[in-house]
């Protein structure tokens, strides 16, 4: 099972004077669904284009199936791409679009026809072969683009925000279908999105990208529950990030001085000395508060209450002026704006982030 299919080694790329990728490395297993997650301009599309061969890296190697393909032209790589805007050839029928790759490989005509029909069935578009791309809806075009790439049975399928142009409902449906398709075919998917929900839903592993480097690589659970950096914590599931000082280390538990109060956290494999600065990430659903002024916690004032998406969001202002978000299910909660409270959380829910020198394990 653990069979490396694609390896990036120290890939760097700059456009003119602007560095886009700063030496990224990753090794991807066969049959994996891996997502590059990050905001626009973080270098994820460039990474994909380098894997596809549409860009040449300034530094580093691309190893595909054990072979160095860094300098191989895109048409000679066993990799196919689903483009962001689908890039269907407007002058060819759906069938001709899907069969194009096989035609270039000089496969016999009846074999192409069968493969095209199978591919159409795979994406549930039987009987659409004779249509032109302009006669299809956005979702249908999307399916054709996927079929066109899959019909060549590439070692790796690259998908560049394939669902970006679809509406929310269709997006959700296509997410499920894509995941099912990937499981069925066992092809490695490298998927790009800026939507953290999509990434968490579909991926085996998520690569969080920021400013041309990898912030964290891990399973959805790892990335969500144990963000390594404050960036990941904020980008995936919008966590609160607080700065404080380590007061005491007691086994695995940390006591932390923070914003005029005290709080707890777990060490999570990092080494801390008392007095060391620390940054904590706490998810909004884990933030609790009590009206008991004597309780241990961070003194705060309730500033705002908003209701969105089935969740009540409470904005709290800490004594050092920074704000903190807490969220709760349901609409009623016995808090009023302007009220003074104390914020607490379970130690297990506070994750130390941005810890440099001492690597975790």
Partner 1 sequence: MKTPSVPLKKKKRSSVWVTLIPLYLFTLLFVAGPLVYMFVLSFQTRAEVWGVVNQFTLDNYKNILQPVYLNTFVESFKLAITSTLLICAIGYPFGYFMAKLSPAWKKRVMLLLMIPFWTSSLIRLYGWIIIFRANGTLDKLLMGLGLTDSPLKLLYTYPAVVVGMVYALLQFMILAVYSSAEKMDWSLVEAARDLGATPLKAFLTVTLKLTLPGLLSGVILTFIPSMGLFFIADILGGNKVVLVGSLIQDQLMKAHNWPFAAALSVVLMILTSLMISLYKRITHTTELEGIL
Partner 2 sequence: MKNRTKLPNIYLGVVMAVLYLPIVLVVIYSFNESKISSVWGGFSLKWYETLFKDRAMFEALGNSLVLALCSSLGAAIIGTLGAYGFTRVKLRSKSVVEYISMLPIMIPEIILGMVFMTFFSLIGLPFGMTTLILAHTTFCVPYVYMLVKARLVGMDKSLGEAARDLGASEARVFFDITLPLLVPAILSGMLLSFAMSLDDVIISIFVTGVNVNTLPIKVYTQIKTGVTPEINALCTLMLGVTILLVVLSNVLGKIGKPKAGKHHKQTGELCGPGQTQ
**Interface contacts to partner 2, rule CB under 8 A:** 52-54, 73-76, 79-81, 83-85, 87-91, 100-101, 104-105, 134, 148-149, 152
- Phi/psi at 26 (5° precision): -160, 155
Between 77 and 194, CB nearer to partner 1: 77
Closest separation in Å from C-beta 43 to partner 1 = 18
78 close to 22: Cβ distance less than 8 angstroms = no
Residue 306 touches which of partner 2, partner 1, none (CB < 5 to 8 A by kind)?
none
Contact call for residue 71 and partner 1 (CB under 8 A): yes
Per the listing, tokens 């969001």 go with 313
Helix (H), strand (E), coil (C) string for 133-145: HHHCCHHHHHHHH
Between residue 36 and residue 65, which ones bind partner 1 under the rule CB under 8 A? Answer: 56-61
Closest separation in Å from C-beta 60 to partner 2 = 21
Decide the pairing of beta strands 4-15 and 59-64. Answer: antiparallel
- Tell me how far apart the alpha carbons of residues 221 and 216 are, in angstroms, rounded to a whole number: 12
Give the chain's end-to-end CA distance (angstroms, integer).
24
130 close to 117: Cβ distance less than 8 angstroms = no
Assigned token pair, 45: 């599309």
Between 66 and 90, CB nearer to partner 2: 90
Interface region with partner 1, contact rule CB under 8 A, candidates 68-76, 106-114, 199-207, 344-352:
68-76
Residue 283 touches which of partner 2, partner 1, none (CB < 5 to 8 A by kind)?
none
Among 70, 196, 203, 240, binds partner 1 (CB under 8 A): 70
191 close to 35: Cβ distance less than 8 angstroms = yes
Residue 61 touches which of partner 1, partner 2, none (CB < 5 to 8 A by kind)?
partner 1
Decide the pairing of beta strands 33-37 and 205-210. Answer: parallel
Between 71 and 304, CB nearer to partner 1: 71
Helix, strand, coil % over all residues of the chain, rounded to 5: 25, 35, 35
Buried b (16+ CB within 10 A) or exposed e, 195-212: ebebbbebbbbbbbbbeb
Assigned token pair, 142: 């999307």
Contact call for residue 111 and partner 1 (CB under 8 A): no
Contact call for residue 78 and partner 1 (CB under 8 A): no
Residue 84 touches which of partner 1, partner 2, none (CB < 5 to 8 A by kind)?
partner 2
Residue 277 touches which of partner 2, partner 1, none (CB < 5 to 8 A by kind)?
none
- Site size for partner 1, by CB under 8 A? 11
Closest separation in Å from C-beta 152 to partner 2 = 7
Residue 10 touches which of partner 2, partner 1, none (CB < 5 to 8 A by kind)?
partner 1
Which DSSP symbol is given to 342? E
Interface region with partner 1, contact rule CB under 8 A, candidates 66-74, 96-104, 114-122, 348-356:
66-74
Between 91 and 183, CB nearer to partner 2: 91
Contact call for residue 27 and partner 1 (CB under 8 A): no
Per the listing, tokens 């694609």 go with 6
Q: Radius of gyration of the chain from Cα atoms?
A: 24
Between 5 and 242, CB nearer to partner 2: 5
Assigned token pair, 281: 């990430």
Pick from 344, 306, 346: nearest CA to 328: 306
CB-based contacts of 160, cutoff 8 Å, min separation 6? 45, 48, 81, 82, 83, 84, 192
Assigned token pair, 220: 């959805």
Closest separation in Å from C-beta 119 to partner 2 = 13
Residue 91 touches which of partner 2, partner 1, none (CB < 5 to 8 A by kind)?
partner 2
Between 59 and 195, CB nearer to partner 1: 59
Closest separation in Å from C-beta 57 to partner 1 = 7
Q: Which residues bind partner 1 (CB under 8 A)?
A: 9-10, 56-61, 70-71, 73
């Amino acid at each position: 099972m653990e069979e490396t299919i694609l390896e990036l080694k120290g890939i760097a790329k700059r456009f003119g004077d602007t560095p886009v990728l700063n030496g990224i490395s990753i090794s991807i297993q066969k049959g994996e669904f891996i997502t590059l997650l990050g905001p626009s301009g973080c270098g994820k599309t460039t990474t994909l284009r380098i894997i596809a061969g549409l860009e040449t890296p300034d530094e580093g190697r691309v190893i595909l199936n054990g072979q160095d393909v860094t300098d191989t032209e895109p048409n000679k790589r066993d990799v196919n791409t689903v483009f962001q805007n689908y890039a269907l050839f407007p002058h060819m029928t759906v069938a001709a679009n899907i069969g194009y790759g096989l035609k270039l490989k000089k496969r016999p005509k009846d074999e192409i026809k069968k493969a095209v029909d199978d591919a159409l069935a795979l994406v549930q578009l039987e009987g659409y072969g004779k249509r032109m791309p302009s006669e299809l809806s956005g979702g249908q075009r999307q399916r054709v683009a996927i079929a066109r790439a899959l019909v060549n049975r590439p070692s790796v399928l690259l998908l560049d925000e394939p669902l970006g142009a679809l509406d929310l409902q269709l997006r959700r449906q296509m997410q499920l279908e894509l995941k099912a398709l990937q499981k069925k075919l066992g092809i490695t998917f490298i998927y790009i999105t800026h939507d953290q929900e999509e990434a968490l839903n579909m991926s085996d592993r998520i690569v969080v990208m920021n400013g041309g480097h990898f912030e964290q690589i891990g399973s959805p659970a790892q990335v969500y529950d144990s963000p390594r950096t404050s960036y990941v914590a904020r980008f995936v599931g919008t966590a609160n990030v607080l700065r404080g000082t380590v007061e005491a280390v007691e086994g695995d538990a940390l006591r932390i001085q923070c914003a005029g109060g005290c709080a707890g956290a777990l060490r999570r494999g990092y080494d801390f000395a008392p007095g060391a600065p620390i940054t904590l990430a706490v998810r909004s659903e884990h933030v609790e508060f009590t009206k008991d002024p004597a309780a241990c916690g961070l003194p705060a004032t309730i500033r705002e209450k908003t209701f969105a998406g089935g969740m009540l969001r409470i904005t709290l202002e800490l004594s050092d002026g920074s704000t903190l978000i807490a969220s709760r299910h349901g609409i009623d909660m016995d808090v009023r704006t302007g009220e003074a409270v104390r914020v607490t959380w379970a130690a297990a829910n506070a994750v130390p982030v941005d810890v440099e020198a001492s690597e975790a394990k």
